[in-house]
Structure 1
Amino acid sequence: MKIMGIVGSPRRDGTTYTIVEKLLNSEEEQKHEYEIHRLNSLNINPCQACYYCKENDGCDLDDDMVNLYKELYDSDLIVIGSPIYFGEVTSQTKLFIDRLYGLYNNKKREFKDKKVLLIYTYANSDENTYNNYIENQKKYLYDFVGFKIIETIKLHGIAEKKDYLNNKELIEKLETIKTNLINL
């Protein structure tokens, strides 16, 4: 199985990256190939609303998103992780999501039932604080592209990496999810 990891945190080795990396990197997952992309390290330009993608295959912008499109097509599972800042995913993640619009109209390569696992980390102690935002994002963005959301992980009460590393309940939750990924 080929797994693509997308990390929208601007922090190079922050909580979100650590969680995605721990989820994908394990001795048990020797049969899986994976690569993690830090969006903050890539050159991704904003969508220009030029509608090139409506008439053509792909996007007219020549940036790092071109390579991400190819990997999206080739991956069996996509793991997208982002912190939530000020009630929304990071600007890096939003930029990535906006550029998925070029795939919505692509008739040649549909993403019907492409498996996606979403990970949201946030400092608010209430797990349900961002439920409406997350559900709208899933409905209006990911569903349009054709992704099949197999799991949505909301890790709340995490302001710093130590909040995750010291939380046995969260670590156990991720171990269960990791086991399920191995058996996909």
Structure 2
Amino acid sequence: MSHLDYEINKELGECYLFMGELDKAEDYYKKAVGSNGVHPDPYIGLATIAIQRGEYDSAMTLYSKAHNVEVTDKSFAGMGLIMMETNRQIEAFANFSEALTLNPSNMVALFGIIRIGHEADMVDQAVPFLENYLAIDPEKHEVRYSLAGCFICMDKKAEAVEQLEMILEIDPANVEAKELLAQI
């Protein structure tokens, strides 16, 4: 099969996955794997389907296959997600960290790191990843708000206030930022 067949099958897999038609998505991803086994994307797609079905072991195997083809932030984030869902917080945090080292804008890994930071009392370790992200996209208020929340947990109120004021400077009507500022 040609590279064009691979691209078409991969795209169709992504479309059906987006529409929630897992069986059709799976068929096209498998065709993509068969047509050109040198890309990680179909394995990542199949792993995403496995996660949605709650088949974590199968998803982990597929992420490993993707990893063997090419190490990407998506496979690290996916493995982190599985580890987080199966209560392996420290391993999950490590995978999310790897994902964010490769791509500081990987939102799955970013929100995973925020969640584990709070659950596993590792907020201080999450902060640098949030700061790296904001250096790229300073107007992403959800991330800045999460950073303020981390600072509050670390008892760094002045830093939290500074982050909330930055949100309100750009978006004066931001209710969450106003409420958190009032609490401080």
Both structures adopt the same fold (TM-score exceeding 0.5): no
Flag the structure with more relative contact order, 1 or 2, with Cα contacts below 8 A and sequence separation at least 6.
1
TM-score (norm 2): 0.27
TM-score of the aligned structures, taking structure 1 as reference length: 0.27
| Structure with a larger share of its residues in helix | 2
Q: Please identify the structure whose Cα radius of gyration is greater.
A: 2
